[in-house]
Amino acid sequence: MLWGDVSVASRHQEFAGVAAIYLAVGDDLQPLGDKAILRAEPGKARTWNTCALEHRTGRAGEDAAVGKDLYVVIAGRVEGPGDLKTDQPIVFVRWDSLTLLTGEAP
């Protein structure tokens, strides 16, 4: 189980900001279950207080994810028309209070 808080803000009238987080396994970062995605329209901001993702793997030998390394993938991107040349920030993405619980013994 993974949960945390996110905020994303676009500081430009033509470009949107997108924040995403998900669980993944293996060196090729194959997604496990759902992705949490939050999009702020151009010039706007959004906050999502406590998104939660949950995934339960199957048994060893039955589920390809079992035995592979587990990763938390955090992403932010800018969406908009063409190339923008600026030395100013366009989008801000912030993740806080991330918590990951696994079934492994500590």
Does any domain span residue 35?
yes
Q: What is the pTM of this model?
A: 0.78
* Residue for token pair 């998104």: 51
Residues near 41 by Cβ (< 8 Å), separated by ≥ 6? 10, 16
Does any domain span residue 84?
yes
Does any domain span residue 53?
yes
- The CA distance from 94 to 98, in Å, is 11
Please give the tally of structural domains in the chain: 1
Residues near 87 by Cβ (< 8 Å), separated by ≥ 6? none
Does any domain span residue 48?
yes
Does any domain span residue 22?
yes
pLDDT at 74: 92
Its domain, for residue 8, covers: 2-96
Tokens (6 digits) for 94:
């912030």
pLDDT tens by residue, 17-76? 999 999 998 889 989 888 889 999 999 999 987 777 777 777 777 777 788 888 899 999
Does any domain span residue 101?
no
Pairing of strands 91-100, 2-10: antiparallel
- The CA distance from 3 to 64, in Å, is 24
Does any domain span residue 64?
yes
Does any domain span residue 8?
yes
